Amino acid sequence: MKKYRPNKKSDNELDALLREYRKLFGFTLLVTDAEGVSRDGDNAAEDCARRRRIITETLRWGTPFIDLCPRGRLMWGMPLMTNQQITGGLVAMAPARAVERVREAADALLAMAEHHNLTNRALLAAQRAEAERERQRAEAIHSIKGADYDAIRSVYLQEEPALIAAIKKGERGEARAIINRILVGIYFLGRERLELLKSLVLELVVMMCRAAVEAGANPSELFGGHYRALAALAQIRDDEALTRWLADLLERIMDAIRDHRRYPNEVLLGNALQYMQEHLADNLTRNIAARNAGLSPSHFSHLMRAKLNSSFTNLLTQYRVDYAMQLLTRTTNSIAEIALACGFPDQSYFTKVFKRRTGRTPLAYRQLSGPLPTERPKL
C-alpha cells in the first residue's frame, strides 16, 4: 500500500471545498498527492494509478475526465496545482446509478477548485482552447492513422445533435442508424485502443441518458436494477461486445421513453419554455426553441396554443419584459444595456414594447420602484 505525501495547498481551502462539495452532491471526494495516493488510505497500486490518470487527463484536456472503474463506480477529478506543477489531486467517486448527475458534479468540481485557487485556472482554460482547435482540425480529416483522443471524439460530436433529437422524439430507427455511424467512425480511428473507445462510449451514454430524461423517461429505469449495464461496461474486453452493449443500452433508453409517453407533451413543452428563458438575449426563433426541445415547429406552436393560450412571439415578448422589469429594479445598468440583455435590438423598440405591456416607460417603471442597489451586477 502506498503512503500519502502531503501537497503544499492550504488545508483550510481544501477542507472548505470538501465540505461544500459534500453538501452539494453527497459524493465521496478524496484528496491525493501527485501520484494519486489518498490521504484517507485505500491506496492499492491499481487505484492510485487510476486516480493519477484521471488527474493528468483532466489537466491535458482542461475539462473533467470521467472514468468507469472495474468496480462499477464513476470517477472524475481535478489537479491541485502550484503554478504549472501538479502537487496533488481531488478525485470524486459515485455509484453508476448516479450517471445523470455526474457531468454536473464534474463541472462543479472544476469551478470550485478554481474558486478556491487550488488549481491553475489559466492553464486549464488554455488546454481547453487547444483541445477545441484540435477538434475543429480533426473534423476535416477523413482518415488518420494513430489518431489522438480529440480526433476520434470529433467523429461523434458531429453526430451528437441529430442523435439527441432522435432520442427525444423516440425515433428508434434513426437513433440506431446514427449510433452505427458513430461506432464505425470511432472504431476505424481508434482501433485496438479499447479503453479509449470505452471512454468515448461512456460520454455517449451520459449524453443519451440526459436526452432521455428530458424526453420524459424515468432515470431510475434506464439501466435496470443497480445499473448493472454500466458495471458490465468495465468488464468488456473486445469491440464486438462493446457494440452489443451500446446497442442494448440504446434499446433500453428508447423503451424507457416509450413507457413514459403519457406525459411527453408537457415535458417537451417545458423544455422549450426553459430554453426560451435561458436564451432571452439571443436572436431566438420558434424553430430554434422547438429543435432544442425535440419538437417540430408546428407541434410546438400547437402545444403553446393548447396549453398556454399563447403564440411563441407573444410569450417570448412577455418573458423579455418580465426579465427587464427585474433588471430595472435590481440593477443600475442603463436602459440600453438592459434592452440588449433582454433580446431587444435597440432602446427605442424596447421602450415601445415595454410601455405597451406595462403602461409605463422603462425609466418611469424604475423611478416608481424605489431605491437602487449600489453595485452593478453583471448581465
Of how many residues is the chain composed? 379
**Is 5 contained in some domain?**
no
Residue 192 sits in the same domain as residue 95: no
pLDDT at site 355: 94
**Is 372 contained in some domain?**
no
**Is 376 contained in some domain?**
no
38 SS3 class: strand
What does the radius of gyration of the chain's CA atoms come to, in whole angstroms? 24
**Is 375 contained in some domain?**
no
CATH number of 333's domain: 1.10.10.60
**Is 377 contained in some domain?**
no
pLDDT at site 240: 77
Q: Indicate the range of 90-94, 119-123, 273-277, 299-303 predicted with least confidence.
A: 299-303
Residue 169 sits in the same domain as residue 229: yes
Residue 325 sits in the same domain as residue 299: no
Residue 95 sits in the same domain as residue 151: no
Residue 289 sits in the same domain as residue 353: no
pLDDT at 216 over 70: no
Q: How far is CA 197 from CA 175, 187, 194, in A?
A: 19, 7, 5
pLDDT at 293 over 80: no
Residue 153 sits in the same domain as residue 195: yes
Burial class (CB in 10 A: 0-12, 13-18, 19+), 98: middle
pLDDT at 327 over 80: yes
- Match 483532466 to its residue by C-alpha cell: 58
Residue 108 sits in the same domain as residue 34: yes
CA dihedral sign, ordered 21, 25, 28, 33? negative
pLDDT at 313 over 90: yes
Contact 100, 253 (CB under 8 A): no
Mean pLDDT of the 262-288 span: 83
Q: How far is CA 116 from CA 56, 73, 125, 269, in A?
A: 20, 27, 16, 39
Residue 196 sits in the same domain as residue 213: yes
Contact 75, 90 (CB under 8 A): no
Quote the crossing angle between the two packed helices 149-169 and 239-259, to the nearest 10°: 30
Buried b (16+ CB within 10 A) or exposed e, 349-368: ebbebbeeeeeeebeebbee
CATH number of 36's domain: 3.30.450.40
Mean pLDDT of the 345-356 span: 93
Domain of 189?
141-259
Name which residue leads in pLDDT, 309 or 147: 309
pLDDT at 358 over 90: yes
pLDDT at 375 over 50: no
**Is 224 contained in some domain?**
yes
**Is 333 contained in some domain?**
yes
pLDDT at site 142: 41
Residue 52 sits in the same domain as residue 79: yes
pLDDT at site 320: 95
**Is 348 contained in some domain?**
yes
Cell of 170: 423516440
pLDDT at site 151: 57
Name which residue leads in pLDDT, 10 or 318: 318
* First-to-last C-alpha distance (Å) of the chain: 51
- Match 446514427 to its residue by C-alpha cell: 178
**What is the 3-state composition of the chain as percent helix, strand, coil, each rounded to the nearest 5?**
65, 10, 30
Residue 53 sits in the same domain as residue 16: yes
CA dihedral angle for residue 226, residue 108, residue 54, residue 63, rounded to 10 degrees: 120
pLDDT at 335 over 70: yes
Number of domains in the chain: 4
State pLDDT tens for residues 62-73. Answer: 888 888 877 778
Residue 275 sits in the same domain as residue 322: no
pTM above 0.75, yes or no: no
The domain boundary residue, chosen from 74, 94, 128: 128
Buried b (16+ CB within 10 A) or exposed e, 74-91: bbbbbbbbeeeebbbbbb
Residue 253 sits in the same domain as residue 272: no
Integer Cα distance of 131 and 204 in angstroms:
18
Task: Concatenate the DSSP letters of all residues of 233-272 into one string.
Answer: HTT--SHHHHHHHHHHHHHHHHHHHHHTTTSHHHHHHHHH
pLDDT at 370 over 70: no
Contact 167, 254 (CB under 8 A): yes
pLDDT at site 359: 93
Mean pLDDT of the 199-206 span: 78
